[in-house]
A and B are shown apart, each in its own frame.
Chain A
Amino acid sequence: MLRNEETRSSRQFLSGNEAAAEGVRLCRPQVIAAYPITPQTTLTEKLSQVVADGAFPCKYLLVESEHSAMAGVMGAAMMGSRVFTATSSQGLLYMCEMLSYASGSRFPIVLANANRGTATPWSIFGDHRDSVAMRDSGWIQFYVESGQEALDTIIQAYRIAEHPEVSTPVMVNIDGFTLTHTYDPVSVPDQETVDAFLPPLKTTNRLSLENPKNLCFNIGPDFHMESRYQEQKAFRSAEKVIAQADGEFTALFGRQHHGMVERYRCEDAEYVLAVMGSVAGTTRVVVDKLRAEGKKVGLIKVRCLRPFPSAFFAASGGSCKALGVLDRNISFGYEGALYTETKAALYRPGATVRTLGFIAGLGGRDISKADLELMYEKLENLAAGKPEEEHQYIGLRWS
């Protein structure tokens, strides 16, 4: 372990799950509840070990299901404790009922989801169908590109979730196997730096012996809409808070993750691809290669699916000639979810950008550099007026 005195961090060789676990350790949740599911397991194993080692005071609840994992951390959050859980795929779907409980009552829970396809057909491998299916659960959703970003985003997630104007749970999505089980050098910050960024949780949204209250109550038609409106307002506040948190994070830790959305070499780009998650890393390499060949290509990395960076797309997403959107999910009967969201944000009077929706990488199918180059080629074709189907499946064996 190499320690850098200047950046107050150590350099470690970690898998994505281990990096996320380091992020959790540094945030020191008082209660963790988790249930094992591939490919989340090594994250919770590592946390079990650090709690057993006494790295920080924490009660680790070994629950009998993901439903109970989310209910357990919600119970602890009701008491005012900082909490953490992690899951994947079927486990996230099994939690579904509790996700809306936690978000509706505005508990600042942080959840790491190791993205994995959903059955059937069974797959333990990665795509975004699990978390995209939970898009409307009322959770803030981040998608990360690397183990480093997983660690950093966990720390940012607590800061955002616990902000009094947000007070909303956050899901950090880490691509199964592609990130969770691959190793990279990761900069692990010191506890003091994290403490400076993330103060202990203070919330009035908790039970209290001094001021007993009722939480998670029933609301009839007379007040229900107002409650939902407040949730929506919290998401609007989150847009600002996510940007602020990223700015302060950069100042303290020296790394920038660009809030809800990152533009990479987009300034004069004519052909731009929008992606979520680990494929952003491969896409950067492809953009650099194509740029070296003189092609004006760029990358938009969508870090948050909720809140969705709609203002960003409305303002600048249409400045290129053709915009492609890569989805590792599919909403049957329509198209990839990110594509739908992006098109809706682009739809403004006078908007002229042409778009393509790419589906790729379902159930762990690799997305190669050649696949990404093909997507840019298709965008170029589209801009040149050549025929291109709007919805395209990249790497499909047969149709």
Chain B
Amino acid sequence: MAIDYKNLSDRELIYGQKSCPGCGATIAVRLALKILGERTFVCLPACCVSATTNVYPETSFFVNNVVTAFPATGSTLAGMAAAAEMQGLEDVVILGVAGDGGTADIGLQALSGLCERNDNVIYLCYDNEAYMNTGIQRSSSTPWGAWTTTSPVGGTAKGETKIRKNLFDIIAAHRVPYCATASTSYPRDFMEKIAKAKNIRGARFIHIQAPCPTGWGYPAEKTIEYGRLAVESGLWYLAEYENGEVKLNLHPPKFKPVEFYLKGQHRFRHLTEEDYKVIEDQRDQEWALLEKKIKS
């Protein structure tokens, strides 16, 4: 989907929010709204984006937006889309914006219902890889080895012990018309995916990695750098699922060593060379699975 970048509106539809400096989630929402425009209805659950935008009597959104319960993003969106359809509002976008915990954990059931019904909604999951709004607790999207306040490092523990849930696979298994991964460090790729999603009817899901300087422990100005390193080292991939097929948008010719990505982050600083090897093995297994799904 070609985007006329030179003529993109200068108007910001999220502005003045109280997020941390370098917040990846805010970048994701800002870029998405640039493409989706003013006739967007946003639904958020309890999460970083809602907590930093909507405290009465202020709001940082310049489009209609609501804050629903933590498990209820998918179901509230379904009701909004149903009402929009009944009222004949054809040229509007019903957009969900939720974090990884609100999507992969507590919100998964309602999201699954939304995907199964193929409700006319775009669901954007910004993944900062833990419950950041409540103060860095692990979620099912926290990567193996990462320190969080509930996956601590100590005498018997070295961070998160489980491999993260693959949301892309879960949503694609619902056979939705469109599902994609993205990264805030690849804005053109992300905006094109948003633009593509805008022109499709039904349940559309975009899972964007959104680095978090506060939770990951790196200087705020390095958000884009860490997002890039995640993709370049193969720890995050940019892919699309459409018409029953998986497509890779970017395949690094050779993965950068994972330590380039891991070393500068506080959450991984306890990891050893052996742990890097474990992470590389996990990465290679994940890519082997991914490549099996890609149409050659």
A71-B65 in contact (CB<8A): no
B80-A212 in contact (CB<8A): no
B63 at interface, CB cutoff 8 A: yes
| Residue of A74, A80, A209, A219 touching B76 (CB-CB under 8 A) | A74
A31 at interface, CB cutoff 8 A: yes
In A217-237, the 8 Å CB interface with B consists of 217-220, 223
A390 at interface, CB cutoff 8 A: no
Between-chain CB contacts (< 8 Å), 22 pairs: A31-B83, A33-B82, A59-B86, A61-B117, A63-B78, A65-B75, A67-B75, A68-B75, A68-B110, A71-B69, A71-B110, A73-B79, A75-B76, A75-B80, A76-B79, A79-B41, A207-B41, A209-B39, A212-B61, A212-B64, A214-B64, A218-B55
| Residue of A68, A79, A218 touching B83 (CB-CB under 8 A) | A79
Known: A98-B69, A209-B64, A219-B55. A71 touches B86 (CB 8 A): no
Q: Which single residue of chain A is at the shortest CB-CB distance from B53?
A: A214
B57 at interface, CB cutoff 8 A: yes
Q: Which single residue of chain B is at the shortest CB-CB distance from A222?
A: B56
A97 at interface, CB cutoff 8 A: yes
What are the 8 tightest A-B residue pairs by CB atom distance, in nearest-first order? A75-B79, A68-B75, A79-B83, A71-B72, A71-B75, A64-B113, A72-B79, A76-B83
Q: Which residues of B contact A59 (CB under 8 A)?
A: 82-83, 85-86
Q: Which single residue of chain A is at the shortest CB-CB distance from B71?
A: A67
Q: Which single residue of chain B is at the shortest CB-CB distance from A69?
A: B75
In A250-300, the 8 Å CB interface with B consists of none
Q: Which single residue of chain A is at the shortest CB-CB distance from B76?
A: A75
B50 at interface, CB cutoff 8 A: yes
Q: Is the interface of A mostly helix, strand, loop or mixed?
A: mixed
Q: Which residues of B contact A218 (CB under 8 A)?
A: 50-51, 54-56, 67
Q: Which residues of B contact A185 (CB under 8 A)?
A: none
A13 at interface, CB cutoff 8 A: no
Give per-residue flags for A15-44: 1 if the beta carbon is below 8 A from chain B beta carbons, else 0. Answer: 000000000000000110100000000000
Q: Which residues of A contact B55 (CB under 8 A)?
A: 217-220
Name 9 extra pairs, CB < 8 A, besides A65-B113, A83-B79, A223-B56.
A31-B82, A31-B86, A65-B75, A67-B71, A75-B78, A76-B82, A212-B65, A214-B61, A223-B57
A62 at interface, CB cutoff 8 A: yes
In B77-117, the 8 Å CB interface with A consists of 77-87, 89, 92, 109-110, 112-113, 116-117
Give CA–CA (A76, B87) in the complex, Å: 10
Give per-residue flags for B36-75: 1 if the beta carbon is below 8 A from chain A beta carbons, else 0. Answer: 0011010100000011001111010111111111011011
Q: Which residues of A contact B61 (CB under 8 A)?
A: 212, 214
| Residue of A31, A214, A219, A223 touching B79 (CB-CB under 8 A) | A31
A213 at interface, CB cutoff 8 A: yes
A215 at interface, CB cutoff 8 A: yes
- A105 CB to nearest B CB, Å: 8
B69-A101 in contact (CB<8A): yes
Known: A63-B113, A217-B59. A79 touches B80 (CB 8 A): yes
A208 at interface, CB cutoff 8 A: yes
A353 at interface, CB cutoff 8 A: no
- A322 CB to nearest B CB, Å: 46
Give CA–CA (A72, B74) in the complex, Å: 9
> Which residues of A are at the interface with B, using a C-beta cutoff of 8 A?
30-31, 33, 57-59, 61-65, 67-69, 71-81, 83, 97-98, 101, 207-209, 212-220, 223
Give CA–CA (A57, B50) in the complex, Å: 34
Q: Which single residue of chain B is at the shortest CB-CB distance from A227?
A: B56
Q: Which single residue of chain A is at the shortest CB-CB distance from B77?
A: A75
- A26 CB to nearest B CB, Å: 18
Give CA–CA (A33, B76) in the complex, Å: 11
A214-B68 in contact (CB<8A): no
| Residue of B43, B64, B109 touching A213 (CB-CB under 8 A) | B64
- B263 CB to nearest A CB, Å: 37
Q: Which residues of A contact B117 (CB under 8 A)?
A: 61-62
Give CA–CA (A207, B74) in the complex, Å: 18
Give CA–CA (A183, B117) in the complex, Å: 35
Q: Which residues of B contact A220 (CB under 8 A)?
A: 55-56
- Of A73, A212, A219, chain B has the most CB atoms within 10 Å of the CB of A212
A216-B86 in contact (CB<8A): no
A58-B75 in contact (CB<8A): no
- B51 CB to nearest A CB, Å: 7
- B177 CB to nearest A CB, Å: 19
Give CA–CA (A74, B87) in the complex, Å: 16
| Residue of A76, A217, A219 touching B80 (CB-CB under 8 A) | A76
Give CA–CA (A62, B76) in the complex, Å: 13
Q: Which residues of A contact B59 (CB under 8 A)?
A: 213-214, 217
Known: A76-B80, A79-B83, A218-B67. A98 touches B54 (CB 8 A): no
Give CA–CA (A191, B36) in the complex, Å: 41
Q: Which residues of B contact A57 (CB under 8 A)?
A: 86
Q: Which single residue of chain A is at the shortest CB-CB distance from B40?
A: A212
Q: Which residues of A contact B87 (CB under 8 A)?
A: 30, 79-81
B86-A58 in contact (CB<8A): yes
B66-A214 in contact (CB<8A): yes
Give CA–CA (A64, B85) in the complex, Å: 20
Q: Which residues of A contact B80 (CB under 8 A)?
A: 75-76, 78-79
Give CA–CA (A319, B4) in the complex, Å: 79
Give CA–CA (A356, B155) in the complex, Å: 62
Give CA–CA (A71, B112) in the complex, Å: 14
Q: Which residues of A contact B83 (CB under 8 A)?
A: 30-31, 59, 75-81
- Of A58, A62, A63, A77, chain B has the most CB atoms within 10 Å of the CB of A63
Give CA–CA (A286, B288) in the complex, Å: 77
- B31 CB to nearest A CB, Å: 19
- B87 CB to nearest A CB, Å: 7
